[in-house]
């Protein structure tokens, strides 16, 4: 009963006109950002963070959270219509969503993405409300060794699921690990691999790196091979999926919700990994795996549900423990601190209006997204039908403004350009940027966990294999890595992941 | 065993070796007390190993049969002029943004990107550039309060 009392208290806050307005602005802007390729939720939240300073803490957090889960909705639109992921969690949606669009089934793809996102997002919020404390207690029992091994496993799964060569995937991950280590070492204070550049003291920024690898390199690839860019000329068709679509999508949505919810809680898990894992599982359980990569609706429903559930459950460690699980929740953590709150176990008891107001606003925001986005898809399509010679300067400009506004420095623009060119070269050689980005995000936490685990075990590396959870995670990761070396495992993998 | 290509393999060996070398310079430490280069060294070493695996052994017909021959093409063909032009324009934008300010530099950037040399029509490109600069300035500077560089227009 106490739970429902708290929730009704939250709705009392979320339904205040000012909070409804900030929620609307957040989800609308988030969707727009998700639609526009090259600008992800991190850049959008960074842009709008100063705007929240003049608001009450709860209004500010509601708006920033709205951008986050709104972008998850919007990201699928560009993935399906132009094969460009609006944000990283929608990368996997390109595989089948775009193929569906090419077959004239863009409408059902967009529809099932929206409905799946709504169902998973709402169930994710229910989960956040009900199981926040018990799951946080379990996660609390994980030591550094478990965190390290789980992150290694997460990274290995991601590489395993990328298309093309596994060796290239591992090479990209290795490069990502190295890039994340550039900058000042937090333990010793010593600059690493900065080559005397002041701009690198704080490390390579995630936003310039992601915008370069995904935004600028995509533009360069399209300029280099304009014939490869297929502008959707077929109609969107009916947005509502038919009975057969629902029948095929029901279980993927349910599984995607569960996968996304639980992976979203783990540090480094979140929307990106959960969408990839969901895709792999759907393909494995499908009676027609050969359809994956050629327009299977399950390949859209599962990952889209997973990334939205993960975006909800990612708030659990943030609100209950004060631990961000990804860059987006790290930004929210910063926003909470700017507003004078100390994130951690006491946040819910000391600032119940923020926790319950945000939880309730997520229900409201998910309804807003469903009601708004299906009719608005036509507008997004019109935006996307702008000729590329007109669209690409605008994409570049949004990337430039987004990157510049983070630190007000042109150095970040150069970083973005470097990764744009690097991304172009690597993608021309069939290298996927996703393992690099994931390794880049996970490595600082991975390094910290490694050091802490070694410190706690008095420098004994066997600590990673003597602890059951850690050992199990590493064993699975090792199996995935070894599959790069053995042809019979390669065959199994090729059956699970669509080759070009 | 999966093979990719000799040239790619060599490139990764060189990159990995360089990372190992740089890591060693800043200190590897030990398992008891890992240094700042510990993880970086591991990443460099893994790249060297990956590079070695990528290189197909000579006189091995089985390996050759699974080699990805796309990788044995020149690593990078000469890119198109439009691509080089875009990159150079963006480098120029980075160089001039703080000096000339957002309005002028972005107008020039947009004009350079919008301008269709084949059609050779100036006016549409100028109008589109102007519209983009004014609208983004209003959205980001005025509405979202992003601090864009003023450059030679300090009163804006």
Instruction: Provide the angle, in degrees to the nearest 10, between the axes of the packed helices A57-82 and A93-102.
Output: 50
Q: When comparing pLDDT for B32 and A330, which is higher?
A: B32
Does A201 contact B at CB distance below 8 Å? no
Residues 6+ apart with CB under 8 A from A57: A336, A339, A340, A341, A351, A354
At B62 the pLDDT is 44
Interface of B with A in 113-152 (CB under 8 A): 113-114, 116, 128, 132, 136, 140, 144-149
Interface of A with B in 20-79 (CB under 8 A): 47-48, 50-51
> ∠ CA A17-A23-A28 to the nearest 5 degrees?
125
| Among A302, A257, A395, residue whose Cα is nearest residue A92 | A302
CB A436 within 8 A of CB A173: yes
DSSP string over A334-362: HHHHHTT---STTHHHH-HHHHHHHHHHH
For the stretch A224-279, pLDDT in tens is: 776 444 555 555 667 678 888 889 889 999 999 999 888 887 655 567 778 888 88
User: pLDDT-based confidence at A196, cuts 50/70/90?
Assistant: confident
Compute the mean pLDDT over every residue in chain A, rounded to the nearest whole number: 80
User: Partners of A270 in the beta sheet?
Assistant: none
User: pLDDT-based confidence at B135, cuts 50/70/90?
Assistant: very high
Average pLDDT over residues A351-373: 84
> Tell me, what's the ipTM?
0.85
Q: When comparing pLDDT for A327 and B62, which is higher?
A: A327
CA-to-CA dists, residue A450 to A77, A276, A447, angstroms: 39, 25, 5
CA pair distance A355, A346, nearest whole angstrom = 11
* Alpha helix stretches (DSSP H) within A49-143: 57-82, 93-102, 106-141
Does A447 contact B at CB distance below 8 Å? yes
Contact A174 B66 (CB under 8 A): no
Quick one: how far is CA B28 from the chain centroid?
Answer: 29
For the stretch A155-167, pLDDT in tens is: 777 677 665 678 8
CB B48 within 8 A of CB B17: yes
Rounded to the nearest angstrom, the minimum Cα separation between B77 and chain A is 10
At B60 the pLDDT is 47
At B105 the pLDDT is 94
- Locate the DSSP E strands across A298-425: none
Q: When comparing pLDDT for A33 and A70, which is higher?
A: A70
Average pLDDT over residues A315-328: 70
**DSSP assignment letter at A216:** I
**Tokens 């093409």 belong to which residue?**
B73
Asked whether the CA dihedral A332, A337, A342, A348 is positive or negative, the reply is negative
- Domain parsing of chain B, residue ranges: 6-72, 81-143
CA pair distance B45, B50, nearest whole angstrom = 9
At B16 the pLDDT is 94
Residues 6+ apart with CB under 8 A from A20: A14, A364
Rounded to the nearest angstrom, the minimum Cα separation between B47 and chain A is 6
Q: When comparing pLDDT for A375 and A362, which is higher?
A: A362
* Pair of tokens at residue A413: 């623009």
At A5 the pLDDT is 83
Q: When comparing pLDDT for A71 and A492, which is higher?
A: A71
Q: Which residues of A touch B91 (CB under 8 A)?
A: 414, 417
CB A34 within 8 A of CB A86: yes
Lowest mean pLDDT among A43-57, A118-132, A384-398, B19-33: A43-57
CA pair distance A256, A308, nearest whole angstrom = 9
User: pLDDT-based confidence at A411, cuts 50/70/90?
Assistant: very high
Average pLDDT over residues A73-100: 78
A217, pLDDT greater than 90: no
Contact A401 B136 (CB under 8 A): yes
| Among A14, A102, A110, A105, residue whose Cα is nearest residue A65 | A14
For the stretch A378-396, pLDDT in tens is: 777 776 666 778 878 888 8
A431, pLDDT greater than 60: yes
Report the residue from B31, B70, B110 with minimal CB separation from A454. B31
DSSP string over A440-461: HHHHHHHHHHHHHHHHHTTS-T
Contact A220 B87 (CB under 8 A): yes
Rounded to the nearest angstrom, the minimum Cα separation between B60 and chain A is 15
User: pLDDT-based confidence at A324, cuts 50/70/90?
Assistant: low
């Amino acid at each position: 009963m106490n739970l429902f009392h708290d929730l009704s208290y939250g709705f009392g806050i979320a339904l205040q006109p000012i909070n409804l307005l900030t929620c609307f602005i957040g989800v609308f802007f988030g969707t727009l950002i998700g639609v526009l390729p090259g600008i992800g939720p991190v850049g959008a939240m960074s842009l709008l963070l100063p705007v929240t300073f003049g608001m009450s803490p709860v209004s500010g957090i509601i708006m920033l959270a709205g951008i986050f889960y709104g972008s998850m909705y919007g990201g699928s639109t560009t993935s399906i219509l132009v094969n460009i992921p609006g944000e990283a969690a929608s990368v996997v949606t390109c595989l089948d969503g775009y193929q569906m669009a090419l077959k004239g089934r863009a409408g059902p793809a967009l529809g099932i993405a929206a409905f799946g996102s709504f169902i998973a997002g709402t169930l994710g919020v229910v989960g956040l409300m009900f199981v926040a404390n018990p799951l946080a207690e379990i996660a609390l029992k994980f030591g550094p060794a478990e965190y390290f091994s789980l992150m290694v496993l997460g990274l290995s799964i991601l590489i395993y699921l990328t298309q093309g060569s596994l060796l290239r995937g591992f090479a990209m991950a290795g490069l990502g690990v190295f890039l994340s280590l550039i900058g000042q070492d937090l333990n010793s204070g010593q600059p690493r691999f900065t080559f005397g550049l002041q701009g690198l003291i704080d490390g390579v920024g995630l936003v310039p790196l992601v915008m370069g690898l995904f935004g600028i390199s995509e533009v360069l690839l399209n300029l280099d091979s304009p014939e490869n860019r297929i502008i959707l000329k077929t109609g969107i068709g009916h947005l509502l999926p038919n009975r057969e679509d629902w029948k095929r999508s029901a279980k993927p949505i349910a599984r995607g919700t569960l996968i996304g919810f639980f992976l979203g809680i783990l540090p480094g898990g979140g929307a990106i990994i959960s969408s990839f894992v969901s895709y792999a599982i759907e393909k494995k359980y499908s009676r027609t795996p050969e359809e994956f990569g050629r327009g299977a609706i399950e390949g859209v429903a599962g990952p889209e549900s997973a990334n939205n559930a993960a975006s909800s459950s990612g708030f659990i460690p943030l609100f209950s423990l004060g631990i961000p699980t990804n860059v987006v929740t790290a930004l929210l953590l910063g926003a909470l601190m700017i507003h004078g709150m100390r994130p951690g176990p006491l946040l819910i008891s000391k600032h119940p209006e923020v926790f319950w107001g945000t939880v309730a606003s997520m229900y409201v925001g998910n309804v807003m997204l469903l009601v708004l986005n299906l009719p608005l898809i036509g507008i997004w399509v019109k935006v996307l039908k702008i000729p590329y010679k007109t669209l690409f300067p605008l994409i570049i400009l949004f990337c430039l403004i987004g990157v510049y506004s983070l630190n007000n420095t042109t150095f970040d623009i150069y970083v973005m350009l470097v990764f744009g060119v690097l991304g172009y070269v690597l993608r021309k050689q069939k290298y996927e940027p996703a393992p690099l980005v994931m390794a880049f995000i996970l490595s600082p936490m991975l390094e910290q966990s490694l050091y802490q685990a070694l410190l706690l075990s008095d420098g004994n590396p066997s600590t990673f294999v003597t602890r059951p959870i850690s050992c199990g995670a590493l064993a699975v990761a090792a199996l995935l890595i070894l599959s790069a070396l053995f042809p019979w495992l390669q065959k199994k993998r090729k059956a699970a992941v669509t080759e070009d | 065993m999966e093979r990719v290509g000799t040239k790619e393999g060599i490139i990764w060996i060189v990159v990995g070796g360089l990372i190992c070398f740089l890591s060693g310079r800043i200190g590897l430490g030990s398992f008891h007390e890992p240094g700042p280069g510990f993880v970086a060294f591991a990443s460099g070493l893994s790249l060297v190993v990956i590079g070695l695996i990528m290189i197909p052994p000579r006189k091995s017909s089985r390996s050759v049969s699974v080699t990805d021959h796309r990788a044995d093409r020149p690593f990078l063909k000469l890119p198109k002029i439009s691509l080089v032009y875009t990159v150079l324009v963006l480098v120029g934008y980075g160089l001039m943004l703080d000096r000339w300010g957002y309005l002028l530099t972005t107008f020039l950037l947009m004009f350079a990107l919008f301008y269709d040399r084949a059609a050779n029509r100036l006016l549409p490109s100028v109008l589109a550039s102007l519209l983009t600069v004014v609208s983004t300035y209003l959205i980001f500077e005025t509405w979202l309060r992003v601090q864009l560089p003023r450059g030679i227009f300090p009163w804006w």
